[in-house]
Structure 1
């Protein structure tokens, strides 16, 4: 069950990131977040009402803290996608976001059996392989800036994964509602700081196509959050987080098909390693 839920979260995150990145290239990162995050918040609110459960102050506080970390991760991630290739940015962010929960889970005493542990290791290796830069990419200042922001976003997402696990499993989906609210607040503060500094957000016009991208990104991201939240409370943090962090495989493949971004040999190997890792985890 944990495997299915976490892989479902990975699929949803991967498509959401692709749609969000495509929109950020048209209207800018922050403007895209201003559109997609409220839609995701509405989706989570409706889901929380349908799922029931009692909201506790502790669970809501953990959710809010997770949301602040996730909001900062979103800002840097969408900015990175707007200036760098999706096939590099998404995997670098995911690798960083996977390592942190694994470290926390290990420190908390989580122990995986040999087969599952081997699968987790392969998944982490796969994320690294898919994220490797091609010749000359590291020489570009824009690519370098995108790489740094991808690392920062991954750290934010990793903290998000860890803190959601701390929220507990007896509060329904309400911690996710506070998490998305706090993340949206972080984006609003960033926008306010930019406007007070006399700068404009920039970007192109908001068209119908952009609105559809925002809708898809917001709803799918909310769906991914819910799937991960259920998965991490049904099993171990390290396992749920690593499988969820395989979402770059989806983003990379979509970027290859839609934007014709080149899929290098090492990335193909990474996808194959990821499949092997998932197979070992499932068998375990």
Structure 2
């Protein structure tokens, strides 16, 4: 990692955060395709298990040291993440996509931005503009329109709680050390895996993902663990407010992938959202 730091310093945090948004975008697309072909709990469990199989050997190879403290911090962050996912899917069961997703997306980005600013992140004027535009882009690419605010707000509470969970993951995982990365990423998966296995056991859910879902689950697991590991490296080298916002711009990536791979039509708001995301990324890189 020192070689990577020397190549990209002082922009290495921004570069890695940008990579994390790309991989989370890919993971979101793959997870969406998998969810259309298999039940949710088996997908989540296999996704996390794949991530553990990838990041554990990586940790032995690249980590300078292992501390139980950082591993447990990662596990605590993972509990926030799985809690966010639970509220997100609960909201999706009772409300429309355009109510839950924008709320969770904006809140998940806003929480670490606010936390970072109050913790001492020194943002330039261009950074502040990029943050505001980035938050708007998350809402737009998630499908929000003017009609969203005139319809039912059913599910809004779950969307906000999901955002708090995901935002909490960003805030908590920041408190780990460079020396132990990416062990915190392992911890963030081990703890949720035990919870999911317990739920599967409790509900006696023996469903397995179909053969058509397996490639997408594999893609989701690989992309998501790469994204979270990139974010862990990024937040240890850059400001929380900036790295978390860049990472949270992944809906723009998911929308673009869906448009080009499966010909999903982009709405005008999504097109504006993608443009806003590009502007936000460029402004952060320049600033």
Length-normalised TM-score, structure 1 = 0.86
Question: Residue 268 of structure 2: which of 262, 265, 268 is its match?
Answer: 265
Question: Residue 51 of structure 2: which of 40, 48, 62 is its match?
Answer: 40
2:284 maps to 1:281: yes
1:3 corresponds to: 14
Instruction: Note the 1:12-27 alignment, pairs <5 A.
Output: 12-27=23-38
Instruction: Note the 1:163-174 alignment, pairs <5 A.
Output: 163-174=172-183
1:89 Cα deviation (Å)? Answer: 5.5
1:234 corresponds to: 237
CA distance in 2 between counterparts of 1:83 and 1:209 reads 27
Question: Residue 109 of structure 2: which of 98, 113, 121 is its match?
Answer: 98
2:221 maps to 1:212: no
Moved more, 109-118 or 229-238: 109-118
Deviations along 1:178-226, whole A, 9 cap, x unmatched? 111012123223334434xxxx577xx6332211111111111110011
CA distance in 2 between counterparts of 1:256 and 1:87 reads 18
Per the alignment, do residues 135 and 129 of structure 1 end up closer, same or farther by CA in structure 2, a change over 3 Å counting? Answer: closer
2:3 corresponds to: none
Per the alignment, do residues 187 and 80 of structure 1 end up closer, same or farther by CA in structure 2, a change over 3 Å counting? Answer: farther
Q: Gaps (5+ residues) in structure 1?
A: none
CA distance in 2 between counterparts of 1:150 and 1:18 reads 19
1:155 corresponds to: 164
The 8 Å contact of residues 86 and 251 in structure 1, kept in 2 or not, is answered as: no
Instruction: Note the 1:58-207 alignment, pairs <5 A.
Output: 58-77=69-88, 90-134=101-145, 144-145=154-155, 148-195=157-204, 206-207=209-210
SS of aligned partner of 1:166: coil
CA distance in 2 between counterparts of 1:201 and 1:80 reads 24
Query: How many residue pairs were aligned?
Result: 276
CA distance in 2 between counterparts of 1:179 and 1:106 reads 25
SS of aligned partner of 1:278: helix
CA RMSD of aligned residues (A): 2.8
1:148 Cα deviation (Å)? Answer: 4.9
2:8 corresponds to: none
Q: Gaps (5+ residues) in structure 2?
A: 1-11
CA distance in 2 between counterparts of 1:144 and 1:265 reads 24
The 8 Å contact of residues 13 and 238 in structure 2, kept in 1 or not, is answered as: yes
The 8 Å contact of residues 10 and 245 in structure 1, kept in 2 or not, is answered as: yes
CA distance in 2 between counterparts of 1:144 and 1:257 reads 32
Question: Residue 249 of structure 2: which of 246, 257, 274 is its match?
Answer: 246
Length-normalised TM-score, structure 2 = 0.85
Deviations along 1:228-265, whole A, 9 cap, x unmatched? 00100001000000000000111222333455544221
CA distance in 2 between counterparts of 1:99 and 1:177 reads 25
Per the alignment, do residues 3 and 82 of structure 1 end up closer, same or farther by CA in structure 2, a change over 3 Å counting? Answer: farther
CA distance in 2 between counterparts of 1:9 and 1:38 reads 19
SS of aligned partner of 2:199: helix
The 8 Å contact of residues 94 and 154 in structure 2, kept in 1 or not, is answered as: no
Question: Residue 228 of structure 2: which of 220, 225, 246 is its match?
Answer: 225
